[in-house]
Structures are given as structure tokens and as C-alpha cells.
Amino acid sequence: MSGWVRKRFWNNAAVEPIEGGFTVTLDGRSLKTPAKSALILPTAALAEIIATEWRAQAEMIDPESMPATRAANSAIDKMRGQKAEVTEIITAYGDSDLVCYRAESPEELADREAAVWDPLIDWCAHRYTVRPIIRTGVIHGPQPKLLLINLEADVTRLSSFELTAFHDLVAMSGSLIIALALLDKFAPPEALWDASRVDEDYQIEQWGADEEAEKLAAGRKAAFLQAARFYFACQG
């Protein structure tokens, strides 16, 4: 894709195997990224998702309806040159992870956090050999250094495409542990999104919903689920 154009100019979008992976063609012409790089995708599954986005466009193109296309462009044009920096930013979440900080009160909220988040702590302790420290309140306390090293090792292994999706999983949920649990298929994406919303959902139950906050949350949920779909499509 050579840059966004507003009017549809093609009839058919297809997936084609090429050297290094797969691409999407529009009437036989391979897409390029905005930076003019070849759109080479790691799996046919991911290429098919992107082709489907292009097939779904009406007379006027809507880039907002093409999240997989945008993510793939970002993986190629941006992430490949910023992997180390993005990895550092993402793994910093592990030292102050959402699921490690619990409410002191009310008891009902604390119990709800424990019911949802303790299984994630157990999973993390089993997978990474070090148990995260749980704290009450909001005052920061460091996690064990070995735990952070082990968490970072898994993030470092991600490809540029996978890391692009993973960045959104962490940023939308606010939790490195939740995002890593999703990669490990600890629970379905919808359930893990709900796990990230324990505090917010409790507050809504107590005080009612705010229309603007609901709209923002819906957008974040959509981005989280789209990132999960993109990540697993990278697996084939």
C-alpha cells in the first residue's frame, strides 16, 4: 500500500505466497506499506484477515475499519527499528502490574480482585518460577529481579509482528501478566479483558456508568480483542 487513498480503486483482493511469507494483492498488484516497503506477512492467516479488510471496503476507504492492515504496516515500518525500546517500555509494566495491587477496602472489591487475579498470580508463579509480590494500596514496591528478567525474556522473543500486537494487549489492559497469560492461552481473550476491568466494573456497579467512559472502554476493548486476533493469526 503506497499510502491511504479515499476512493476504492480495485475489484479483487487476494492472498499470494511470496518469498519470505505472504502478501495481499489488489487486482494482482502487491500492497506496500506507507513507507513503500513490501507488505510481507508471516502467515497466510494474517494475510487473509488483511485481504478481508480490503474486500469489505465500500466506495470510500475507511482506514479505521482496517486494524490488521494498520498493525501490519506498523510492524514493518516502525516496530522493526524500535523493538528494543518498545520491549523496555512494555516490560516496565511488570514492576507495577495491575494484578499485583489490591484494594484495602471495601472488602467486597478486595474479594473480587482476589477471585479474578489470584489465578493469574498462580499461573505467573508457575510459568516464571518466581511468585509476584501482592500489595495493598497504590504505593509502589519492586518485584523480584528474577521475575522481571524472566518476564522480559518472553517479550524479547516476540517477532516484530507479534510485538506490535502485544504492545496493544499490555497498553489496553494495563497488565503485562494479563497479556502474557493471553499468549499462553490461559483464558479466552474476552475473559482476560474482563479481568483487567475488575476495579472499573465494580465502580460502575456502585455509581453508575458514565457515557464518555463507556465509549472509551469500548474502544479499548475492541483494540485489545483485535490485538489478540492479530497475534494468534501470526501463529498461523
pLDDT in tens, 169-222: 999 999 999 999 999 999 999 999 999 999 999 999 998 888 888 999 999 999
Size of the chain, expressed as the number of residues it contains: 236
pLDDT at 227: 98
C-alpha cell at 184: 499462553
Strands (E), the chain: 13-18, 21-26, 29-30, 101-102, 135-136
Nearest to 61 by CA among 71, 52, 53: 53
Average confidence (pLDDT) over 89-97:
95
pLDDT of residue 208: 87
> What contacts 114, CB < 8 A, 6 or more positions away?
102
Is residue 2 pLDDT above 50, yes or no?
Answer: no
CA angle (179, 192, 168) in 5-degree steps: 40
Helix axes 160-173, 211-234, angle to 10 degrees: 150
Average pLDDT, the chain: 95
The domains found in the chain, sorted by start residue, are: 13-74 (3.30.2180.10), 81-234 (1.10.3580.10)
Give residue 1's pLDDT: 45
Q: What does the pLDDT look like over 30-82, one tens digit per residue?
A: 999 999 999 999 999 999 999 999 999 998 889 999 999 999 999 999 999 99
Give the pLDDT score at 182.
98
pTM for the model:
0.93
pLDDT score of 7 = 83
Q: What integer is the mean pLDDT of 108-119?
A: 98
Looking at residue 5, its pLDDT comes to 56
CA dist 179 and 219 (Å) reads: 17
Residue pLDDT, tens place only, 123-175: 999 999 999 999 998 889 999 999 999 999 999 999 999 999 999 999 999 99
**101-102 vs 29-30, strand pairing mode:** unpaired
Q: Is residue 19 exposed (0-12), middle (13-18) or buried (19+ Cβ within 10 Å)? A: exposed
Average pLDDT over residues 95-123: 97
